A and B are shown apart, each in its own frame.
Chain A
Amino acid sequence: MNTIEFNRATIRFNESFSLADIEWRIAPREIWAITGANGSGKSALVATLAGKGEIMSGSIEGIPPGVGVVSLEAQAELIERERERDDSDITDEISQGTPVAQMLDEVSTNSDLLDRLIEMFRFAPLLGRGFRKLSTGETRKVLLTRALTCDPEMLVLDNPFEGLDADTVPQVREMLRQKSNEITMVLVFNRFDEIPDFVTHIVYLENGSIKYKIETRDSSAVEALSQLLHLKKTDIEIPKADLNEKIPVLDDSSPLVRIRNASIRYGQNTVFQNLDWCIWPQQHWQLTGPNGSGKTCLLNLITGDHPQSYSNDIFVFGYQRGSGESIWDIKQYIGYVSTSLLWEYRVSINLINVVISGFYDSIGLYNEASASEKRIALQWLRLLGLEGQADQPFNCLSYGEQRLLLIARAMVKHPPLLILDEPCLGLDDINRQLILALIEKICLGSESTVLYVNHHAEDKIKGIKYHLSLG
């Protein structure tokens, strides 16, 4: 591989975002980590290495043909490809999707490594399953496997550890360490503490430009950067609920959720069985389990998004499921955020309406918002530092910013049950601290009961005392 050179390159991505004046040299076998706040251009910068964006001035030279990429953008492209291949809208037959085995075979040239990764990621039972049927973590593993086994000259990994279960992270880190002696890597990290020790250089981005470039040998520079990233926001004030909203009052003497002897099955495959769970008001729960253990399935039994909600014994918010209630009767009590919501939220809408849609449990906004709803939504945008962009389109935001907004959407109505499925994925250190602080405050208050899923031991929440572990 040759040296890659960015010469005062200005690269445009959409109407509201460009990278400006990028000067950058990546020599062979250097390992770069890119950091910066959400929306600073981290993903955009690595996307240029995959040929994305329109070069408006300057130049980019020396990008090798074989680049292995893992990013939310690459994931979105694969999901989109699956949607395009899905002909069920025209054939009237339900599509099963491209099986994992084929997703891996179509790019892999290194079959030894492929076998090793299949074992390490415990893929064997998943090989026949459709790509879109995988859980968030499993999907990430497929992307990583594709990138590693296509014999790349360079690896571009946007948050390589994101969504992986705690057991897998050290294994992947070790594998990357071995590869670091052979090939060039550009890695994006939202969290400073995830940057591995084999990284040779760090780039810090701000508003679409490179603010700092440092070598990791220079420990004082690294120390200074780390402090910069940990400036804490203080005095968080959670915007109040809308007093005009009328969610029917719940009976305090019965649980919010009671699941009895539940099981989820696809054909011969059992995700879990004999599961009992009871959630009482003000009992905050943390849910853990390895990728594919059924965490999201379980949450979807509660939200009503899982079709097998009806074949299980589930009592939620005073309704026995399947007794004539509608899913909107259920959803009015829930605020919800997850990675799949990010993929489902594909409508053209501006930022403020995304937050307001939380009052209506809808994707997109189909109702006329009241003045008080708008006022509260603006308060949330201010808290997230996005109030200046209230009228901007949602799909022009980075994935990290989109997630922040969906968290606000989940919290905006102060729901009796707040379900946060790995809320901090894709968030930078400062926003993560903000969100964790928000969740802590909510746990201390008396309106919402919190149900929290995460993989990061560091992201513990004070106030969560109950714990359910799957798998």
Chain B
Amino acid sequence: MANYFNTLTLRQQLSQLGKCEFMDPSEFSDGSNYLLGKKIVVIGCGSQGLNQGLNLRDSGLDVSYTLREAAITEQRQSWKNATENGFAVGTYAELIPGADLVLNLTPDKQHGAVVTEVVPLMKQNSCLSYSHGFNIVEEGMHIRSDITVIMVAPKCPGTEVREEYKRGFGVPTLIAVHEDNDPRAEGLAIAKAYAAGTGGHRAGVLMSSFIAEVKSDLMGEQTILCGMLQTGSLLCFDKMVENGVEPGYAAKLVQYGWETVGEALKHGGITNMMDRLSNPAKIRAFELAQEMKDIMRPLYLKHMDDIMTGDFSSGMMDDWANGDKKLLDWRKETGETVFESTESSDPEIPEQEYFDHGILMVAMVKAGVELAFETMTSAGIKEESAYYESLHETPLIANLIARKKLFEMNSIISDTAEYGCYLYNHACQPLLSDFMAKVDTDVIGRGLGLNDFYVDNHRLIEVNAAIRNHPVEAVGKTLRAHMRAMKKIV
């Protein structure tokens, strides 16, 4: 199979990358009626699978689950999840041939194998849905031409997809139609009805393409999301310990700092995150971020280029074929860092202190989000996609680090994200080494320790304007307005 993106002409590539529009709520006035009475069969009953299925059924749709024969005969957890919730369960051979719509909600890495097994069983003129386009775009999977291929991807974990639905709301959702597989021109109607069935239409739906989703997702996860936070964790922790900050405190400041900072980001973007700092600290963070952006820009460009040419995915797939050798080695390496093995100290750190003592971390988040956003948009990806794959997801990964630190964070995220995260980290740490040699504990670990908070008015106005006028802030403001039900991450 060849990389699908590379088979397209430049014109087609640009048009696919540039696809991403916020859909008007009126487009969903028909709700999920298009799928009423159709047979929906879900493959996989993990958290996404189960919770999406529960929502679809509560929206009046006919949902059942198909599992591997062994999972059924051994009554594994996935079988229990489905049956205890009153769903019919059957093998691929029993359920797939009757399905009008098959939802593939298995982990990304299994897509190739699952799709190869399932498609021959699917009936003529049915529809296959993905939640991530890697298999189509990077692995170049061809699906039988009578089958419609769509993507519906809620931008939140499965538990939240369910919880928001029960509240009468939903989570932001991305939909796409694979243009090579839309023989009856009904892909969009199916995707819209599916998104409405999960409640996504109430929180905002982005119409994108398989290509824009894959390329922006890869870029976001390996740079700002997992990469920057991993590199930042290691650099900040080592710096503090080197300069005499108590290691338990340093570990705690890093482990929970991203989450605290991310929470401010989630609610009010970079502007609000920066506003949580005192005026002198804000100016310091701004300047640090500017400096880091200049240093890291070539690295972000390289990641974007490798993703676009397919070099990244072919390198990674070579490693898959080689039994994940590199991935597992790198994972082990992360587990052996001092940060990972240092126990966080007990005393609570007050919420504001995470900002006051974590000025450098705030600067890293700002630099990473803005760079990822700028790099993606300059490569032809629309601002809305770039926002979701950079700023929007940062708090989710930050929350993961708070709960699990780095080693487990890496084991939990997709293998694709993990592999890219290590590539980024290996390049970024040396890149920032001169910069890190210059900074001290006033920006990471101890705070500025000022009695006088004097700032020059003109400089402050300049800095505030630069923060607020960055394009990620404008698009973020619009998109966040659609997610009024912001709640604290549990």
Which residues of A line the B interface, CB within 8 A? 80, 83-84, 86-94, 266-267, 304-305, 307-311, 324-329, 344, 346-348, 357, 360-364, 366
Residues of B within 8 A of A87 (CB): 403
Q: How far is the CB of B330 from chain A (nearest CB, A)?
A: 20
Instruction: Give 6 nearest A-B pairs by CB, closest first.
Output: A362-B168, A89-B157, A311-B86, A92-B46, A363-B167, A307-B85
Q: Is the CB of A84 within 8 A of B85?
A: no
Within 8 A of A (CB), among B120-152: none
Residues in chain A near residue B84, CB distance under 8 A: 266-267, 307
What are 18 contact pairs spanning A and B, CB under 8 A?
A86-B159, A88-B158, A91-B412, A92-B48, A267-B84, A304-B58, A310-B57, A310-B86, A324-B61, A326-B31, A326-B59, A326-B60, A344-B166, A344-B167, A360-B168, A364-B168, A366-B169, A366-B484
Q: Give Cα A324 to B197, complex, Å.
A: 12
Confirm or deny: B365 has a beta carbon within 8 angstroms of a beta carbon on chain A: no
Are A89 and B160 touching (Cβ within 8 A)?
A: yes
Choice from A84, A90, A94, A309 contacting B77 with Cβ under 8 Å: A94
Do B167 and A364 touch (CB < 8 A)? yes
With a CB–CB cut-off of 8 A, which chain A residues contact B404?
A: 90
In the bound complex, CA of A348 to CA of B487 (Å): 7
A366 touches B168 (CB 8 A): yes
Q: What residues on B are CB-neighbors of A311 within 8 Å?
A: 86
Nearest residue (CB) in A for B484 is: A366
How far does the alpha carbon of A361 sit from the alpha carbon of B169 in the complex, in Å?
A: 11
Given contacts A90-B404, A307-B85, A363-B168, list 8 more A-B pairs with CB under 8 A. A83-B490, A89-B160, A90-B412, A307-B54, A324-B61, A329-B60, A347-B485, A366-B169
Q: Do B166 and A363 touch across chains, with their CB atoms under 8 A apart?
A: yes
B455 interfacial by beta-carbon distance below 8 Å: no
Check B81–A94 contact: CB distance below 8 A. Answer: yes
CB neighbours of B159 from chain A (8 A): 86, 88-89
* B169 with A267: CB separation less than 8 A: no
- Encode contact with A along B384-404: 1 for CB under 8 Å, 0 otherwise: 000000000000000010011
Is the CB of B50 closer than 8 A to any CB of chain A?
yes
Q: Does B107 contact A (CB under 8 A)?
A: yes
Q: How far is the CA of A344 from the CA of B164 in the complex (A)?
A: 11
| Contact status B167-A90, CB under 8 Å | no
Contact A324 B487 (CB under 8 A): no
Per the bound structure, the CA–CA distance linking A106 and B193 in Å amounts to: 48
Residues of B within 8 A of A266 (CB): 84
CB distance from A311 to the nearest CB of B (A): 4
Query: Is B80 among interface residues, defined by CB-CB distance under 8 A?
Result: yes
* B484 adjacent to A267 (CB under 8 Å): no
C-beta contact mask, B454-476 vs A, less than 8 Å → 1, else 0?
Answer: 00000000000000000000000
Q: How far is the CB of B102 from chain A (nearest CB, A)?
A: 19
**Chain A residue with minimal CB distance to B31?**
A326
B431 cross-chain contacts in A, Cβ below 8 A: none
Q: Which residue of B lies closest to A86 (CB)?
A: B159
Q: Is the CB of B85 within 8 A of A361?
A: no
B37 at the interface (CB under 8 A from A): yes
- Nearest CB of A to B57, in Å: 6
Q: How far is the CB of B178 from chain A (nearest CB, A)?
A: 24
Q: Known: A93-B46, A307-B54. Is A324-B167 also a contact (CB below 8 A)?
A: no
Decide: B167 and A308 in contact? CB cutoff 8 A: no
Q: Are B60 and A88 in contact (CB under 8 A)?
A: no
Q: Mark B31-62, 1 if CB is under 8 A from A, else 0.
A: 11000110000000011101000100111110
In the assembled complex, the Cα of A325 lies from the Cα of B61 at a distance in Å of 8
Inter-chain contacts of A90 with B (CB < 8 A)? 157, 400, 403-404, 412
B202 contacts partner chain A, Cβ-Cβ < 8 Å: yes
Contact flag A346-B487 (CB < 8 Å), given A94-B47, A311-B86? yes
Q: Tell me the minimal C-beta distance from B445 to chain A in angstroms.
A: 26
The answer for the CA separation of A267 and B167 in the assembled complex, in Å, is: 28
Query: Across the interface, do A84 and B403 meet the contact criterion of CB distance under 8 Å?
Result: yes
B86: contacting residue among A92, A307, A346, CB under 8 A: A307
- In the bound complex, residues from chain A placing their C-beta under 8 Å from that of B168 are 328, 357, 360-364, 366
Task: Report the nearest A residue to B107, measured CB to CB.
Answer: A92
B160 touches A362 (CB 8 A): no
**A325/B60 in contact, CB under 8 A:** yes
Structural contact, B487 and A347, CB atoms closer than 8 A: yes
CA gap between A125 and B76 in the complex, in Å: 22
Interface centre among B48, B85, B160, B168 (most CB of A within 10 A): B168
A87 to B61, CA, bound (A): 28
User: Which residue of chain B is the closest to A349 with respect to CB atoms?
Assistant: B485
Max chain B CB contacts within 10 Å: which of A86, A89, A325? A89
Which chain A residues lie closer than 8 Å to B80 at the CB level?
A: 267
Contacts of B32 in A (CB 8 A): 326
**Cβ contacts under 8 Å, A92 to chain B:** 46-48, 107, 158
Residues in chain B near residue A324, CB distance under 8 A: 36-37, 60-61
- Contact check, B58 vs A308: say whether CB atoms are below 8 A apart: no
Flag if A347 contacts B167 (CB, 8 Å): yes
